[in-house]
Structure formats: structure tokens, C-alpha cells
Amino acid sequence: MASQALTIAPGDTAVFTWTNPHNVYISASMTDYNACAKTGGSEVAAETDGGSYTYTASTEGVFYFICTVSSHCAAGQKIAITVATASASPPPTPSAPPVTSPSPSPPPPATLPSPKPPPSPPPASSEEPCFPSSAVVTLADGTPTTISNLHEGDSIVAATADGALTTDTVSLFSLANKDAEAMFALIVTDANNTMALTPTHHMPVGASCCSTLKQAIDVSVGDTVWIASAGAVRPQTVAEVSLETRRGLHSPLLTHGTFPLVDGFVTSFNSMSIVAFDGLVLPFVLPLCKATSTCSLLRHAVAAAECAYKSAVGSDAVCKRFKYIDGLEAQGGKGSGTQTALVAAVGVAGVGALKLRA
């Protein structure tokens, strides 16, 4: 679950309710809130296994609420509540963006005094389908690791197109940019499983796994998504969708076209047609380019092809800079000419990992 922000007026109330062990603690400052530090504040609701707490706004200002049980605060179970009259300019709040609805398992959630509008469209900077650096994958031996620790050749747990669990290898066409910051869609299920992914990233939805895909921005409350549990993929229902900013852009493109499990969710790096194409082409292209020392050239061709595609369809979008998992950076330059067309054609023919989107 993500940290949240809420603005209410003096006299309004915010209700925290929970069903598992939680408490409610008011931090002494925004610095303590951001650091999840328990210094100088006060516990207003003791830890209980299920309970509620009602906060009544009486003084204008920003008040920082966290859960100090275990690592709950670090996992995002906190909220900044700004108390201000409608005509007043509220004090600055922490950098975490506001969410559209309360989370199903506090603290927070807080009961909102009025409905919030749906998330606004994502910024252009988050067009690349990726996960944040904090996302977790599972290695073939069962060891969990953050996605930022992956290397080319690592074997991770994934799902096949018919929903069976398997393992697959992280390819050289995987992307990794630890320094980037982007907007992510936060998907929370009715079982409180949470995953962040960029709004254009695909994930399987629907009554069966895994042939029907949606981009994250199109996933709605009530949709069925698929989670790995007890050695199989099982359905869960989406309870909340919101937007927030996180750091890192990582996309493990798997060699045999399977669906990587990220934070326990079955995900897809692109559309079904491109995933299937990659599953056919990459097992042949990768050994060939390694044997001929042309993998870097081929990945530059992918960047050129992506850029040429944008030029061909008249897109005004800036050509993306690809940061691959081994540190190689490539960016195609818009323009015309035989060389650009040839390199683009090599990229299109050589690998399906172009991730071209209208």
C-alpha cells in the first residue's frame, strides 16, 4: 500500500480502521514522517489486532500519521492530513502524491469526507513499461531479490501463457535504470497484495491466466488479476488503483516469452503478439549475436527502430534512451536516410523486443 495525503476542513473527522495488528502514531515532524522515525511524537491508538481510531480536526496545519508496528510505515502505511479551510492555502505536504480512495487495510486508510476524482493521466516520462527498483522477483532457487539486483542470465520465476509456473532467463534486452524517477500505477488487491508498475505496462486480467492483457492504467477496481500462491497462480480482485512517484525503471525481458512474477503478480512486458514473437526469436538471436559479438549493435538497432517508428507515424514524442541491464545505453536519432532505415530494419527483423506503442 502507498503513503497517502488527505485535506480536510476543521471539524471534519478521519477514521482509521484495521483488521490486523496496527496502531496509529502522530509523528512530530515531516522529517520523522518521511523517515518513519518514532521520536517525539505520540501514539494515539495502541497496537491492537483489529480496531479503529477517529481523528477530529481542530487545528489547521499538517499532521503526520504512521503505523509503527513492524515495518508497516516503511511499506507505506502512513498518511499526511492537511487541515485547512476552503479559502486557506494549506501548508506544504510530503512529496507523496494524493490517492483517489482509501486503502482497504489501514493505517491508513482514512474515511474520506467526500469522494475524490479518478487518477489523472500519467506524465509522458513514464511511457516506458517498467517496475520500480523496489519491486521483488523470485530467483529459480526460491530466493527473493529486488529487481534492481538482477543481471543478464539470471533465472527467475515466471508463468506460461496457460498459467503454469516455470522459470525463464533474463535476457540482454532487459532494461534497467536505477536513477530514473517516474509515475507508477499502484495496484492493490482485496487480499492486500500490492504492486507498482508504469501505467503502460501490461498485466494478465480476466477469468483465466494469462491470455488477456490490460495496461495498468486501464485496470479497474473489480478486475481479476493473477497472483502466485502455494505453487500455482490464483485469482485476486483489484480493490484499489492509484498513482504515485517511485524511483527506478526496470523491465526483465525473458528469453522464452514467459510472464515474469513481480511482487507475486503475473505480469507481461508487452502485448501478447510481441511476447509470443520474442519467445520464438530470442532463443535463436541471442546465441547468434553473442557468437558474432553483435549484441550491442543489435540493441542500438532496436533503439533506432523505435525512433524510426515514431517518425513514421508522425509522433512528436522524444526518442527514448534505452538503458539495458548490462549498462549499455542506446538512443535512436530521428531523421531520414538509408543508414537509419537499414539499422531500423535490422532491429525490426532481428528481435521483437521493440516495445513499439502508438
pLDDT tier for residue 208 given thresholds of 50, 70 and 90: very high
Among 38-42, 48-52, 209-213, 318-322, the range scoring the smallest mean pLDDT is 318-322
Rounded mean pLDDT, 149-164: 95
The C-alpha cell that represents 180 in the structure block? 530514473
Task: Report all structural domains of the chain as residue ranges with CATH numbers, in order of start.
Answer: 1-116 (2.60.40.420), 125-271 (2.170.16.10), 279-350 (no CATH)
Residue 73 has pLDDT above 90, yes or no: no
pTM: 0.59
- The pLDDT of residue 112 is 41
- The pLDDT of residue 317 is 54
Rounded mean pLDDT, 259-287: 91
Task: Report the greatest alpha carbon distance in the chain.
Answer: 71
Contacts of 353 (CB under 8 A, 6+ apart): 171, 173, 253, 270, 274, 278, 282, 302
The C-alpha cell that represents 48 in the structure block? 491492537
What residue has cell string 487541515? 83
Do 282 and 258 form a contact (C-beta atoms < 8 A)?
A: no
